[in-house]
């Protein structure tokens, strides 16, 4: 059978790569994909992004299942449109995707169903928002309600910064519609973890735990990004904590959606803060897999992903087990100069083709592409074309060895202005493997 993966980032490269390894699969189309998915055996890029074009393609090619990578097609209702056309697609409906697409919706949902999260209030009126924070002190968090491509959260260290963020969103409309409503949230201290599950609407299959590194620079300094690297497993999530997260957060969320009349089918990503007291609170929900968390997670996944997805579509996820490589995996992101602002583009990437030619799916590493395109010389010339460019992902007996392997490979790849953190996985190494 043939499958379709929607998206063009490292997450989609990893997802399509993993799907293509199943003996049941002839081809995995990626729409629109990147240079990495174009080079990968078993994958083929197609140049469509409009939902109507994707539906027509899926009908014509008799696509057995479509898997959606990023949030925006989900928020736009791609699942509803495919469903109406009788096409199989894995992801939440437009209504269910509101868990990510509207932070106000997500907060009200969590409050209604007793799911732990930071105290907050929602505003579209700037003077009411300014008045609310008068009674607070810094730090405090200002969040745009809608999807803002990672730019919608301001951690205001002082009240002056918070007042400024309110004006930026509600008066100057810097984030457009996404920032026309804001959420003001209490600041939480602790360590973050990403908890990602597959849901069939009733049953849940948790994926391996992982930890992202959101800040641009070493030691969690600099601006927030989409993620500069990730590793799996996240040892902060002990078996006891895992059970607590399932009990207090994941199960009530899936049951709450069902009770509200909107079954949640798809990947669900809970961004969590684990407080020093051991409490777990939801920072955000995403209605999709994480990027770059997916890259190390897919490298560790031993089960056939097509079989897991089939169970998810048939609402039989309770009947399947998932198998993981017991080794750790770690991915380091190589990003363009200027990221997370305006990235520099069209720089040649050297050292990459040599490594990719010899790469096999049984290797202990894989290079997943994000913002890459071919230059005029076709497949022999790969150029930068976005913020995050590559995620070099490797397995190792422990996080420290996975870190060394990934960085060893990354050190052979070069492009002008490359930004890369040097401490991916250090929290995991510090805790357990030193
Ligand atoms: P979000 O998109 O809501 O996950 O926010 C992006 C990042 O901002 C998170 O990964 C955290 O690092 C940080 N953040 C969000 N909300 C809070 C909060 N209430 N307290 C502390 N940090 C937060
Ligand atoms: N890495 C964070 C995210 O995908 O939202």
CA of 102 to the centre of ligand 1 (A): 15
CA of 217 to the centre of ligand 1 (A): 17
CA of 214 to the centre of ligand 1 (A): 10
Are 202 and 254 in contact by the 8 Å Cβ rule? The answer is yes
pLDDT of residue 434: 39
Distance of alpha carbon 61 from its chain centroid, rounded? Answer: 28
**Which of 168-177, 190-199, 356-365 is the least confident region?**
356-365
Residues 228 and 165 in one domain: no
Nearest partner of 98 among 83, 110, 116, judged by Cα? 110
Residues 315 and 195 in one domain: yes
pLDDT of residue 430: 66
| Sheet hosting strand 120-123, strand order edge to edge | 120-123, 182-186, 140-144, 153-156
Are 211 and 234 in contact by the 8 Å Cβ rule? The answer is yes
pLDDT of residue 433: 46
Final residue of a structural domain among 284, 319, 354: 319
How open is the CA angle 68-74-80, to the nearest 5 degrees?
Answer: 100
In the block, tokens 């932070």 appear at 103
- Kindly report whether the peptide bond that precedes residue 139 is cis, defined as omega within 30 degrees of 0: yes
pLDDT of residue 296: 98
* Exposure letters 316-343 (e unless 16+ CB within 10 A, then b): ebeebebeeeebbbbbbbbbbbebbeeb
CA of 291 to the centre of ligand 2 (A): 5
Domain membership of residue 214 as a residue range: 191-319
Residues 339 and 409 in one domain: yes
Distances in Å between the Cα of 223 and the Cα atoms of 22, 124, 151, 309, 405 are 39, 26, 10, 36, 27
CATH number at residue 225: 3.30.470.20
pTM for the full model?
Answer: 0.94
Residues 357 and 425 in one domain: yes
Residues 266 and 380 in one domain: no
Residues 196 and 286 in one domain: yes
Alpha helices, H only, 214-250: 239-245
Q: Is residue 109, in this structure, part of any structural domain at all?
A: no
Ligand nearest to the CA of 211: 2
pLDDT of residue 432: 45
In the block, tokens 């305006």 appear at 342
Residues 357 and 278 in one domain: no
Q: Is residue 195, in this structure, part of any structural domain at all?
A: yes
Measured CA to CA, the distance from residue 332 to residue 213 in angstroms comes to: 10
Ligand 2 atom 2: the closest Cα is on which residue?
290
Measured CA to CA, the distance from residue 396 to residue 402 in angstroms comes to: 4
Judged by DSSP in three states, 237 sits in coil
CA of 226 to the centre of ligand 2 (A): 6
Final residue of a structural domain among 319, 342, 362: 319
Residues 295 and 383 in one domain: no
| Nearest-atom index, ligand 2, CA of 230 | 1
CATH number at residue 339: 3.90.600.10
What is the mean predicted confidence (pLDDT) over 392-414? 97
| Nearest-atom index, ligand 2, CA of 284 | 5
Ligand 2 atom 5: the closest Cα is on which residue?
290
Task: Give the chain's domain count.
Answer: 4
Q: Is residue 132, in this structure, part of any structural domain at all?
A: yes
pLDDT in tens, 37-77: 999 999 999 999 999 999 999 999 999 999 999 999 999 99
Instruction: Give the pocket of ligand 2 (CB within 6 Å).
Output: 212, 226-227, 286, 290-291, 293
CATH number at residue 14: 3.40.50.20
> Of all residues in the chain, what percent carry a pLDDT higher than 90?
87
pLDDT in tens, 327-339: 999 999 999 999 9
pLDDT exceeds cutoff 70 at 353: yes
Are 204 and 258 in contact by the 8 Å Cβ rule? The answer is no
Residues 297 and 351 in one domain: no
Task: Pick from 290, 388, 424 the residue to mutate for probing ligand 2's pocket: most ligand atoms within 8 Å of its CB.
Answer: 290
In 3-state terms the chain splits into helix, strand, coil percentages (rounded to 5) of 35, 30, 40
């Amino acid at each position: 059978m043939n499958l379709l993966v929607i998206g063009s980032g490292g997450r989609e490269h990893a997802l399509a790569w993993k799907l293509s390894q199943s003996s049941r699969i002839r081809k995995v189309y990626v729409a629109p994909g990147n240079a990495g998915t174009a080079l990968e055996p078993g994958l083929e890029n197609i140049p469509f992004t409009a939902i109507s074009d994707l539906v027509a393609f899926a009908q014509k090619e008799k696509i057995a299942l479509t898997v959606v990578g990023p949030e925006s097609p989900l928020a736009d209702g791609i699942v509803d449109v495919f469903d109406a056309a009788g096409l199989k697609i894995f992801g939440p409906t437009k209504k269910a995707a509101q868990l990510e697409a509207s932070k106000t919706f997500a907060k009200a949902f969590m409050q209604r169903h007793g799911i732990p999260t930071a105290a907050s209030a929602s505003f579209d009126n700037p003077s009411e928002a300014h008045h609310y924070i008068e009674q607070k002190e810094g730090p405090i968090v200002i969040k745009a309600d809608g999807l803002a491509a990672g730019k919608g959260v301001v951690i205001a260290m002082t009240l002056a910064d918070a007042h400024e963020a309110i004006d930026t969103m509600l008066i100057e409309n810097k984030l457009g519609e996404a920032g026309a409503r804001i959420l003001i949230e209490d600041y939480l201290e602790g360590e973050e973890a990403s908890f990602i599950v597959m849901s069939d609407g009733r049953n849940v299959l948790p994926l391996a735990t992982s930890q992202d590194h959101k800040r641009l620079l070493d030691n969690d300094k600099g601006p927030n990004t989409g993620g500069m690297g990730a590793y799996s497993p996240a040892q902060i999530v002990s078996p006891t904590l895992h059970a607590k997260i399932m009990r207090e957060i994941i199960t009530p969320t899936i049951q709450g959606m069902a009770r509200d009349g909107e079954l949640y089918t798809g990947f669900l990503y809970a961004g969590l803060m684990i407080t020093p007291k051991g409490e777990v609170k939801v920072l955000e929900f995403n209605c999709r897999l994480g990027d770059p968390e997916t890259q190390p997670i897919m490298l560790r996944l031993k089960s056939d992903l097509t079989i897991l997805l089939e169970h998810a579509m048939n609402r039989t996820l309770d009947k399947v087990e998932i198998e993981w490589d017991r080794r750790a995996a770690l991915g380091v992101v190589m990003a363009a100069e200027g990221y997370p602002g305006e990235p520099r583009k069209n720089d040649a990437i050297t050292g990459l083709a040599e490594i990719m030619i010899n790469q096999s799916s049984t290797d202990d590493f894989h290079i997943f592409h994000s913002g890459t395109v071919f230059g005029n010389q076709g497949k022999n010339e790969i150029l930068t074309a976005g913020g995050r460019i590559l995620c070099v992902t490797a397995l190792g007996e422990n996080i420290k060895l996975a870190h060394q392997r990934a960085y060893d490979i990354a050190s052979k790849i070069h492009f002008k202005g490359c930004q890369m953190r040097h401490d991916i996985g250090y929290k995991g190494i510090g805790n357990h493997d030193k």
